[in-house]
Chains A and B, each alone.
Chain A
Amino acid sequence: MALVGAIVFVCLRVLPANSLTVALTLVLAIVGIATRWGLTESIAASIGGVLGLNYFFLPPVGTFTITDPQNWVALAAFLVTAITVSQLSVGVRRRAAEAIARRQEVERLNALGQAMLLSGSVRSAAREIVNSIIRTFDIPGAVLFNQIENEFLRSDARAQSIAEDQLRRVADSGEAAIDAKSLTAVVPIRLGGQVIGSLGLIGCTLSAAALNAVAYLAAIGIERSRSIEEAGKVEAARRSEVLKATLLDALAHDLKTPLTSIKGAVTHLLAQQPGAEDKELLTIANEEADRLNRLVVEVLEMARIEASKLHPDRAPHDINDIVAAALKAQEESLKGRAVELRILSPLPAADVDFEFIQQVLKQLLDNAVKYSAPGTPVEIAAETAGERIVVSVSDRGSGIAEEEQSRVFDKFYRGRKSRERVLGTGLGLSIAKGIIEAHGGKIWVTSAPGKGSVFSFAVPMVKGELVR
């Protein structure tokens, strides 16, 4: 207003100018005012300018009355021009300010993104995110709500002004709550369409788009820390598996080494034609060394199965070959038995680890021999069932009572009737079960007490591959 007064005074007294010059000068001044201060000020200046022109320059000078209708038009034109130009110039000014603010926001978001990616620590990831936001946007407080962990992380006491309820509500509804009066904003944190928490900011003047971007950066930060943590867990699990395997190997070595000395010494003495009494004692020592060795092997194998260390080396194999290998290995104990083979021909190849399945078959044959009378036949059958090959070993032994059938695959379980009579560790069948399950297969028993038992296992076949 002072400027308008000054222009009017100067034009009136210092350098007498005509009304046109005064009007144009005033318009110029008003544009300046609009650009510098804003619309309200420039409108006030426009009105002041109209009054000043009217009073000092338009005849009759010294009054607010206008006699010439042309001057009415001129005054109205002046007022409209002044206000329109003010509006345009204020608009330009606002857009420029907005552009600067957007640029600053983008710069800060960029800085925030970098700060979050640089934070290496996993545990303090949420704290890092909150601190980075406060630092980058220069706001008094922020709070992060992690819905998955159900954790609130506040920058400091000032951030208490955003209630937990509000943070939960935003996370539940997925809709931002922005309060322009108190300058607080709560936005949902989304990752891949799913809300994983919410972020509250105090004293925040960010645009909605920038708020979303901040929330998105926070989501990435949280997810990144989670995946680092996951990777750490996987690595830890792998290390503990390696450690277990190493321990088991060391244990195997330490248990078998003394057995080697014992067995070597005893078998050497047995070969020196000892007297009958010595021979009996040495034979006992030798057999017990073998038994101890079997026990060590089985316990370690069980430990490997339990530590999920059993990795079958699967390849297409002919069940006939595996059966033949198992029969060859059990030749000694099968002496005097008729072995009947009922193997479907042609049979698809089995997708199995040769050695492991041979071991299972040996175990089943061993059981068949142990739990049936000498001289009774043993039968091995193989057929297809869906996409699996089912192999079974049957004996004509005493069978297994129904209540025991479900327990024979349990570790260290030994049949009630046979506990005294039959040597064994009670691990054989649970190892067989572990091996078959490691192939994604199934093992089971059907038995009629007094008639015999049938142990069967199903393993995957190789589709489309027929063997001889």
Chain B
Amino acid sequence: MSGAKVLVVDDEPQIRRMMRATLTSNGYQVDEARTGEEALEKFRAFLPDLVLLDLNMPGMDGLETCRELRQGSDVPIVILTVRDTEKEKVEALDAGADDYVCKPFGMQELLARLRAALRRSPGSSEGGPQSFVSPDLEIDFDNRRVRVKDNNVRLTPKEFDLLRHLVGRGGKPVPHRELLQAVWGPDYGDETEYLRVFINHLRKKIEPDPARPKYVLTEPWVGYRFAMPDQQ
């Protein structure tokens, strides 16, 4: 997605300079914000296709900014941070981030992550299911709409793609690696914590009882499975 608009949010001026130069040279349009508050402002004016968000900022920190952005938008968010423990990753994904890149990073790696975050898995026009309907869950894959008990539910693009891929496999277990590559892209495969967090989000949004899911089921040691009505 060349020409995509990227909002770089970081309190470090040198990092913003470097990102602007490298991303612009790779065909992206770039705007910058120095703080979380400024990011929210710029977001409304610039309408970026993706947000690159530093976690460690004075004032409103990255996690909080991420949550704020998520409240009103499903824009892809990629977190940049110096901390690289699994706990931090899960926290960031839980706050609504799509991906997580550890500083310092190579530019090629970052560009690959940006492409993965911007990509949408192929729509139903290129195959895959068109819709799913059951008494308490309706999914319209063409229009990317989900209704739970007659209420519209907003899924982020990654959540939606995850759901589409699971439903598309018609009740068969889908291995972790396959899911990660289908939704994030070919460079992924080992980030099972991503799946854990996103499946959790998905269950909260579409399951009548998220603690005892009836649609999105865990297949121990393998992956996940979408239970079709005849399998429930």
Contact = CB atoms under 8 A, between A and B. Distances in A.
With most chain A CB atoms within 10 A of its CB, the pick from B19, B106, B108 is B106
Contact of B15 (A249, A257, A272): A257
B46 interface: no
Interface stretch (B78-86, B116-124, B177-185): B78-86
Nearest to B80: A260
Contacts of A286: 106
With most chain B CB atoms within 10 A of its CB, the pick from A261, A286, A355 is A261
B218 interface: no
A253 B15 contact: no
A253 B102 CA distance: 11
Contacts of B85: 355
Contacts of B87: 313
A241 to B, nearest CB: 18
A285 to B, nearest CB: 12
B104 A271 contact: no
Contact of B190 (A263, A267, A328): A328
A253 B82 contact: yes
Contact of B12 (A257, A263, A289, A313): A257
B87 to A, nearest CB: 8
With most chain B CB atoms within 10 A of its CB, the pick from A259, A260, A272 is A260
Given A253-B56, A256-B82, A355-B85, A265 B18 contact: yes
B14 A261 contact: yes
Contact of B105 (A253, A264, A271, A355): A264
A259 B104 contact: yes
B interface, by DSSP: helix, strand, loop or mixed? helix
A355 B107 CA distance: 26
Nearest to A325: B190
A302 B107 CA distance: 29
Interface string A226-256: 0000000000000000000000010011001
A264 B108 contact: no
Contacts of A293: 104
A264 B104 contact: yes
Interface string B63-89: 000000000000000000011011100
A249 B81 CA distance: 12
Contact of B25 (A252, A268, A328): A268
A267 B105 CA distance: 9
B187 to A, nearest CB: 14
B181 to A, nearest CB: 16
Given A256-B103, A271-B108, A264 B18 contact: yes
A262 interface: yes
Given A257-B14, A268-B25, A328-B190, A263 B83 contact: no
Contacts of A374: none
A328 B56 CA distance: 30
For chain B, give the interface size range: 20 to 34
Interface string B1-40: 0000000000010110111011001000000000000000
A313 B12 CA distance: 32
Interface string A78-99: 0000000000000000000000
B217 interface: no
Contacts of B83: 249, 252
B15 A264 contact: yes
B107 A268 contact: yes
Contacts of A260: 12, 15, 18, 82, 103-105
A265 B82 CA distance: 17
Contacts of B155: none
Interface string A272-296: 1000000000000010010001000
Interface of A: 249, 252-253, 256-265, 267-268, 271-272, 286, 289, 293, 313, 328, 355
Interface of B: 12, 14-15, 17-19, 21-22, 25, 56, 82-83, 85-87, 103-108, 110, 190
26 contacts: A249-B83, A253-B82, A256-B103, A257-B103, A260-B15, A260-B82, A260-B105, A261-B14, A263-B105, A263-B106, A264-B18, A264-B104, A264-B107, A264-B110, A265-B18, A267-B106, A267-B107, A267-B108, A268-B18, A268-B107, A271-B107, A271-B108, A286-B106, A328-B190, A355-B85, A355-B86
Top 7 closest pairs, chain A to chain B, by CB: A263-B104, A267-B106, A267-B107, A268-B22, A260-B104, A268-B107, A260-B103
Given A257-B14, A257-B15, A261-B12, 13 more contacts: A256-B103, A257-B82, A259-B103, A260-B12, A260-B103, A263-B104, A263-B106, A264-B15, A264-B107, A268-B107, A293-B104, A328-B190, A355-B86
